[in-house]
């Protein structure tokens, strides 16, 4: 009986890691054919071409390394369009806790590079959270822009 409990606990501990990131609600994850640095550079260029402003890169692996910790590469690219976001921030100041937009370029334990970002399904939940009406046409345009930018970065 004790072995059954241990086995059950072990399976439950492993189960969340067996779910691919792309299965998470509103999260899109794509494999990249490029290195982390090349994917980040290509993604940044593709987003700028589509009218986005790049605010910063948050390098989690570098932060870990500064404390003597080691982890695979993981960098968040923070970007947005102030023409679209600022009016919402003025009307709904708490909206800024969830935006600007972000994309994560990360390397798994096997050295494979991935790009993850939130799609309009998740943005609708964020809008609902802050009492902002969702514009389906705008959401579809946003999805198309992020899809094409991440495709450009990962090919």
The per-residue pLDDT for 71 is: 97
Count Cβ atoms below 10 Å from residue 125 Cβ, excluding itself.
14
What digits encode the pLDDT tens for the residues 14-44? 333 433 444 478 999 999 999 999 999 999 9
Q: Which residues of the chain have pLDDT under 50?
A: 1-23
The per-residue pLDDT for 131 is: 92
- Predicted TM-score (pTM) of this structure: 0.82
Q: Decide if domain 26-154 falls under CATH 2.120.10.30.
A: no
Q: Which parts of 19-81 fold into alpha helices (H)?
A: 36-49, 60-66
Would you say 85 and 100 are in contact if contact means Cβ atoms under 8 Å apart? yes
């Amino acid at each position: 009986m004790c072995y059954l409990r241990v086995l059950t606990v072990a399976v439950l501990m492993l189960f969340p890691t067996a779910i691919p990131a792309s299965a998470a609600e509103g999260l899109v994850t794509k494999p990249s054919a490029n290195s982390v640095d090349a994917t980040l550079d290509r993604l940044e260029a593709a987003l700028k071409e589509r009218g986005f402003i790049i605010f910063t890169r948050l390098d989690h692996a570098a932060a870990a390394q500064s404390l003597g910790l080691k982890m695979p590469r993981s960098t968040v690219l923070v970007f947005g369009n102030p023409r679209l976001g600022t009016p919402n921030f003025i009307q709904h100041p708490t909206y800024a806790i969830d935006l600007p937009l972000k994309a994560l370029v990360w390397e798994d334990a096997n050295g494979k590079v991935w790009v993850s970002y939130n799609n309009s399904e998740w943005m609708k939940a964020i809008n609902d959270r802050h009492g902002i009406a969702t514009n389906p046409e705008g959401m579809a345009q946003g999805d198309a822009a992020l899809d094409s930018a991440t495709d450009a970065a990962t090919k």
